[in-house]
Amino acid sequence: MAGSSYGTVFKITTWGESHGKALGVVIDGCPAGLALEEAHIQRYLDRRKPGASAAATTRREDDAVEILSGVFEGRTTGTPISLIVRNTSQISKDYSEIAACYRPGHADYTFDQKYGFRDYRGGGRSSGRETVGRVAAGAIACRILEQLGVNVCAYTRSIGPVEADLSRFDKAAILSTPTAMPDRLADEAAMKYLEETKKAADSVGGCMECIVDGLPAGIGDPVFEKLDANLAKAVMSIGAVKAVEIGDGCPVSSRRGSENNDGFCVRDGRILKSSNHAGGILGGISDGDRIVIRAHVKPTPSIYLTQHTVNTAGEETDINIKGRHDPVIVPRAVVVMECMTALTVLDAMMINMSARMDSLLDFYRK
Amino acid sequence: MAGSSYGTVFKITTWGESHGKALGVVIDGCPAGLALEEAHIQRYLDRRKPGASAAATTRREDDAVEILSGVFEGRTTGTPISLIVRNTSQISKDYSEIAACYRPGHADYTFDQKYGFRDYRGGGRSSGRETVGRVAAGAIACRILEQLGVNVCAYTRSIGPVEADLSRFDKAAILSTPTAMPDRLADEAAMKYLEETKKAADSVGGCMECIVDGLPAGIGDPVFEKLDANLAKAVMSIGAVKAVEIGDGCPVSSRRGSENNDGFCVRDGRILKSSNHAGGILGGISDGDRIVIRAHVKPTPSIYLTQHTVNTAGEETDINIKGRHDPVIVPRAVVVMECMTALTVLDAMMINMSARMDSLLDFYRK
Amino acid sequence: MAGSSYGTVFKITTWGESHGKALGVVIDGCPAGLALEEAHIQRYLDRRKPGASAAATTRREDDAVEILSGVFEGRTTGTPISLIVRNTSQISKDYSEIAACYRPGHADYTFDQKYGFRDYRGGGRSSGRETVGRVAAGAIACRILEQLGVNVCAYTRSIGPVEADLSRFDKAAILSTPTAMPDRLADEAAMKYLEETKKAADSVGGCMECIVDGLPAGIGDPVFEKLDANLAKAVMSIGAVKAVEIGDGCPVSSRRGSENNDGFCVRDGRILKSSNHAGGILGGISDGDRIVIRAHVKPTPSIYLTQHTVNTAGEETDINIKGRHDPVIVPRAVVVMECMTALTVLDAMMINMSARMDSLLDFYRK
Amino acid sequence: MAGSSYGTVFKITTWGESHGKALGVVIDGCPAGLALEEAHIQRYLDRRKPGASAAATTRREDDAVEILSGVFEGRTTGTPISLIVRNTSQISKDYSEIAACYRPGHADYTFDQKYGFRDYRGGGRSSGRETVGRVAAGAIACRILEQLGVNVCAYTRSIGPVEADLSRFDKAAILSTPTAMPDRLADEAAMKYLEETKKAADSVGGCMECIVDGLPAGIGDPVFEKLDANLAKAVMSIGAVKAVEIGDGCPVSSRRGSENNDGFCVRDGRILKSSNHAGGILGGISDGDRIVIRAHVKPTPSIYLTQHTVNTAGEETDINIKGRHDPVIVPRAVVVMECMTALTVLDAMMINMSARMDSLLDFYRK
């Protein structure tokens, strides 16, 4: 079970390696009747493309998406939507060192241990390019959520020591700054820090955050399929993520209950929480408030400093990684987090439709 | 889909509410031939029972487990193992306030929103008693893992501001201290802190950690079924957990790659990592090193201070919670984390058996 | 993966062996708000109990069901419903012959091959008593379907050479005749035939049929999750079933298209088929017409004639089966077929709720 | 949940419509290290291509398969294998009649009822071309099974009234006759019958059979995941199949137990059954004998006679179907049945590897 499917009702299956012929995704369970065109998906894919800035690699990838099935006369048919992105810019180069050595921080060693060998070209299936399929599918989930009044938005919270100041939250900056920060001042400071990092032939980690607005209360299930549990899995499944927080996250472990509990109140006839330490989820079920998730991302493991490692013959050796690598993963991973969150939330909403007898009766006896 | 099943090959389904007749679990997919008796499971259940100490509630629960199926002549048969724990000590009391109000920090409001009504006695299915089934099933997973040479161990890392010093790691202390800390000095300090907390009619959060030793390299799958992604879900599905870290966790987001990468080396002919910032997982697959997971737990939402909230009629009101509640959840949740980790790791090991052609050929052509 | 779960959204997990302490089922995903009491489930369980007639064994089983969770104040809560039936009448007897020999037509040999050993008391998990859990769960599915206007009804179509004449269809006879035939004349003839069969120390097979009325068009999915494919699995999973037919079934293989196609027509403003060779399913999706399924059941393998077989030591031997066994399985299996059909149809209806964008918009934007 | 995935460990997801840009499949969970090249898959796809004979349509389809991922240096990597077949020969034609009318025996009406509209070009997703993905994936399953010593073979058993005589079983004839019958005399008779059928502007049904040799005893699970239950689903999910039989199938319902039971015996030190009425499965688990499955296929619904039906405006009308259609589906569906059987059997074998503690200990403690 290679684990390339995600979701229960809105289910996606991704495929493809960094330097194979193509990458893609099959979306099974997309509702029929959704207006869909390639340009919408392309906008999401373009957000994970490397830019011209210091925050991203200079490798050029066109990543043009093609819809192969499941859309007829501009609308989804309810049958599987197959999306493909051809690999066009993979330059044939010398992979002999990666083939023979285990790069620190990469999955080379663990793939070899699991499968007996690996596609060593650019990391194969363990490459960040694997997320092309996730983002293409997530773009569709986002469009459906929008029509349901649910908005998902991810951004860079910090890069190394530089943190965005959310009191200056500027949504437009997320798409227009090279760091995907919602704060232009922090973006400038982070870009400077990245320049230094590159000069030091090193890399750095960062933190990304995703918020979901407009989600009705009652979404998610008790026990194992808690909405926060599924979001944790969704976000931790993104390569390089090492921690996930919901709402206030880690700091709650040193708080008192009287500080951390969110009281309920009534505003304009609606029941609301008077604070949101919980991040919009109580007992695994959405409470109608903003969902808040954070992911901590490790530094890009490919650095230009000489590193000590072991080769496939089991001998210690030094390795010098070549090629072009982002000094930080976060700015391009933000859209992946947004998409994984959207896929998770939409699936939970679709599953939720049969939670009550009155829903079934309304649906079938009308 | 109420979400009460967990696992793919070693699959469990839990059931039961806080104040119902009984709680239990069905384990489907347990390998045949395992020696199993009730006493083994009981030892795990006893670890989540409230004790006599200040760290836990004084409510008495016997929680005696009974094996109803799937074991014959002392060995598992390969067919479903049904385990039941009868509720015996639920005192009939006045639930009218909980029935009519939404307790801050609890799932009362979200259950009502999802299902239209709820079993308000002791939190119903959203109660911590739901974990009885998880622990009973996890006890079996732990026994199998032991025979495979894999050891899972969870403990309290911190309570409020008091942190265990792992340089004094004392495994015996985990089972013998009221806080489940592996450090007797920290345990004493934490118990003092809990006394103060109780006097203040308040509660406090904490952090728990789980380590897995002996897991071979190669376990877990790429992309969505990464071992860390599944561990994150497993642990976040435990009520009150608000953050999950793998290996070094959150701090990696401000580190340099040169600090965070774990180099490989050779010791006694075996390939090892020279450090373990990664927490034993690379690219979602175990690397043979110790797995390290941390969970941050919010303060017990039931506190004895007056809180402001809303009732089911939609009016603001004050609530005073009665009954006996732990001032901190962590010491009793530690065994739940150990069990969820064991269930996740065992399932991944069973799935892994068909990952390679040579494994299939060995199995069927011998 | 022992395979004791069934369904995707309305999911059941059964457990228990013929001579264990109890049998039961956990239903996860039952919608909240359904009125449910033990008496309703008991009526279905009573239909699979052995009667006093020649068609059934004289072994007495009370099979009293107890609801352990998931129902509060007479209504389902949306969380798992755990049902248990204690085994009370299993007489301690000598199983040494079954333990040592492979009974022809039974699963003794295959269980030993798969698991290395088996619970030999009364067949263990391979016994017909395993269906207790299916029927208890199916009773709930039937109640929900009734409220949705869908009626499921199974009956005996034939026993040995005696076939019910459906032109005399008498629904009341299904529940009141010992053969569960909807035709009292055929019932009498079949009972005579069974008397002869018993005198000959032999057994006989039979055929059962299930019809579903009131199912709206549009239920079921294309490709692998076709409604008829899932019904075939559901019915073939009942022990002793060796063939499944949908609509006209086997005879279509020698027909012409002009004979077999069902034309469409309009009656009272509704689109209908002018015949129903298809059995209510086209392309795997319900067409609004009556669903028709037939199952062919092999003769009870336990017969009183001496049979030649092999013992667990691998030596040929003769076996004489003792105890009380029905000469035909069908009359007691009819309710199992009804329940498996109901579970399949209800699950498909629940899954279907998110098939179209307009359904999602209606549900969430109202 | 559009239902386009099949399998648990060896899991496939198919996509594509009759007249879309392409069709394909993603195989997730294929073991690493299998030698695989396009030519092997192509041989299976060629068997479902229309030929030049009277038994098949004259529409030309190249159906050239391309491997897009999951194979590196000629071997599978363990990550998803994506296969694509471009649609090349779909002639742009007038679909206005199919768009406006419900063809008898087709899924036009049910798709419209489910999804609100449909891709009417050539049947869209409900077309027989959907099986391209199944066959491409099944070719890989067959190759693995061969290496495990398991052989799967399907053939035409009958066309209309003409039945193959299995006492003349000629395996080579299956691939070389236009009817895919293993009996050249029956093939000739069937071809004559098909000529008459075509002259009558009509179509005819048929029966296909699949045998599995070399499957070890112990494969399959009790209760819902019985091997025969899964085979029934697999085969019933093939369009136009209306009945599935295991072993002797339907006739068992009128037999005596003494006729139908298969005794056990010992031959050359191995335990065997002395007959095989059961078709190689007892209690849902393989018994080591030949597996036998039969599928009854309805006549091609597209016939050239005028038929009465209803249009999408809800008015009765006549329809005359144009285009080229096979007078019988069976000869081209035989390879689909072989592939669905192979996928089912292989998945069961992979799942079975963790059924016993000694298997786990052998695998992980060596």
pLDDT digits (tens, 9 = 90+) for C148-163: 999 999 999 999 999 9
Asked whether the ipTM of the predicted complex exceeds the cut of 0.95, the reply is yes
Which among D90, D67, D81, D65 is positioned nearest to D32, based on CA atoms?
Answer: D81
Give the closest residue to D148 by CA, choosing from B366, B353, A114: B366
What pLDDT, on a 0 to 100 scale, did the predictor assign at position A184?
A: 98
CA distance D24 to D70: 14
Enclosing H/E stretch for D13? strand D11-16
In this model, does residue D52 exceed pLDDT 50?
Answer: no
Euclidean distance between CA atoms C279 and C268, whole angstroms: 22
Tens digits of residue pLDDT in C36-48: 999 999 999 999 8
The pLDDT, as a whole number, for residue A88 is 85
Mean pLDDT within B323-345 = 95
Q: What does each C-alpha distance from C166 to A36, A191, C155, C288 come to in angstroms?
A: 51, 81, 11, 22
pLDDT at C53 over 90: no
Give the bridge partners for D309, in sequence order: D317
Collect all residues of chain A within an 8 Å Cβ-Cβ radius of residue B253: 158, 205-207, 242-243, 296-298
Inter-axis angle of helices D330-352 and B357-365, to 10 degrees? 80
Classify residue B161 as exposed, middle or buried by CB count within 10 Å of its CB (0-12, 13-18, 19+). Answer: exposed
pLDDT at D366: 65
The tokens of A40 are what? Answer: 């919408």
Backbone angles phi, psi at B172, to 5 degrees: -60, -30
pLDDT tens string B301-318: 999 999 999 999 999 999
d(CA A279, CA D277): 62
Is C296's pLDDT higher than 50?
Answer: yes
Q: D159: buried, middle or exposed (CB in 10 Å: 19+, 13-18, 0-12)?
A: buried
C86-100, D318-332, D346-360, range with the lowest pLDDT = C86-100
Q: Which residues on A lie below 8 Å from C9 (Cβ)?
A: 351, 354
Ranges of each domain in chain B: 5-365
pLDDT-above-70 percentage for chain A: 95
> Is C75 close to B16, i.e. CB distance below 8 A?
no
- What are the backbone dihedrals phi and psi of residue D30, each rounded to the nearest 5 degrees, phi first? -70, 130
Radius of gyration of chain D (CA): 22
| CA–CA min distance D102, chain C (Å) | 8
DSSP D229-259: HHHHHHHHTSTTEEEEEETT-GGGGGSBHHH
**Average of pLDDT values for C83-102?**
84
DSSP string, C345-359: HHHHHHHGGGSBHHH
Q: Sorting pLDDT into bands at 50, 70 and 90, what band is B96?
A: confident
pLDDT at C89 over 90: no
Q: Average pLDDT for residues B198-203, to the nearest whole number?
A: 97
Cβ of B169 under 8 Å from any chain C Cβ? no
Select the residue of C116, C216, C261 nearest D104 (Cβ to Cβ). Answer: C261
CB pairs under 8 A between A and B: 397
In chain C, % of residues over pLDDT 90: 90
Whole-angstrom distance, CA of residue A253 vs CA of residue B243: 9
Please report which confidence band the pLDDT of residue B88 belongs to, taking 50, 70 and 90 as the band edges: confident
On the question of pLDDT at C90 being above 80, the answer is: no
Q: Is some CB atom of chain A closer than 8 A to the CB atom of C34?
A: yes
- Please give the DSSP secondary-structure letter assigned to residue B298: P
Asked if A18 and A129 touch (Cβ cutoff 8 Å), the reply is: yes
In whole angstroms, give the CA distance from residue C215 to residue C178: 29
Chain C, chain D: beta-carbon pairs less than 8 Å apart: 397
Q: What does pTM read for this prediction?
A: 0.97
Q: Evaluate whether B105 touches B301 at the Cβ level (below 8 Å).
A: yes
Give residue C91's pLDDT. Answer: 64
D 1-20 residues with CB below 8 A of C? 1-6, 8, 14
Best mutation site among B5, B8, B12, B13 for testing chain C: the one with the most C CBs within 10 Å? B13
Residues D133-156: tens digit of each pLDDT: 999 999 999 999 999 999 999 999
What's the confidence (pLDDT) of residue B52?
42
Please state the φ and ψ torsions of residue C265, each to the nearest 5 degrees: -145, 175
- Whether residues A106 and B239 touch (CB distance < 8 A) is answered with no
Token representation of residue B232: 């994150």
Output the pLDDT for position A55. 61
Place of tokens 């067949």: C123
Question: How high is the pLDDT of residue A97?
Answer: 83
> What average pLDDT score do residues A59-70 get?
84
By residue count, chain D amounts to: 366
Measured between beta carbons, which residues in chain A are less than 8 angstroms from residue B302? 257
Q: Which positions ≥6 away from B65 have C-beta within 8 Å?
A: B38, B41, B42, B45, B83, B84, B85, B136
Asked if residue D291 has pLDDT above 70, the reply is yes
Nearest to B288 by CA among B227, B214, B210: B214
Rounded CA separation B12/B34 (Å): 17
Output the average pLDDT for chain D.
Answer: 94
Contacts of C361 in chain A (CB under 8 A): 147-148
Which 117-156 residues of chain A touch chain C by CB within 8 A? 144, 147-149
Rounded Cα distance between D254 and C296, Å, is: 9
Residues of C whose CB is below 8 A from B137 = none
Instruction: Give me the mean pLDDT over the C65-71 stretch.
Output: 98
CB distance A204 to A142 below 8 Å: no
User: Which pLDDT score, from 0 to 100, does residue A190 have?
Assistant: 98
If you average pLDDT over residues D200-210, what whole number do you get?
98
CATH code of the region B5-365: 3.60.150.10
- What 3-state DSSP class applies to B31? coil
Q: Which residues pair with B204 in a beta bridge?
A: A256
> What element of type H or E holds B38?
helix B38-47
Distance of CA B330 to the CA centre of its chain: 10
pLDDT-based confidence at residue C55 (cuts at 50, 70, 90): low
In this predicted structure, what is the pLDDT of residue A92?
63
Contact residues for C284 (Cβ-Cβ < 8 A; gap 6+): C220, C221, C222, C223, C225, C226, C227, C228, C229, D3, D107, D237, D239
User: Is residue A52 pLDDT above 50, yes or no?
Assistant: no
pLDDT, tens only, B105-136: 999 999 999 999 999 998 999 999 999 999 99
What is the rounded distance in angstroms from the CA atom of residue C299 to the CA atom of residue D253? 7
Which among D115, D232, D351 has CB closest to C1?
D351
Q: Which amino acid is at D281?
A: I
User: CB–CB of D364 and B29 under 8 A?
Assistant: no
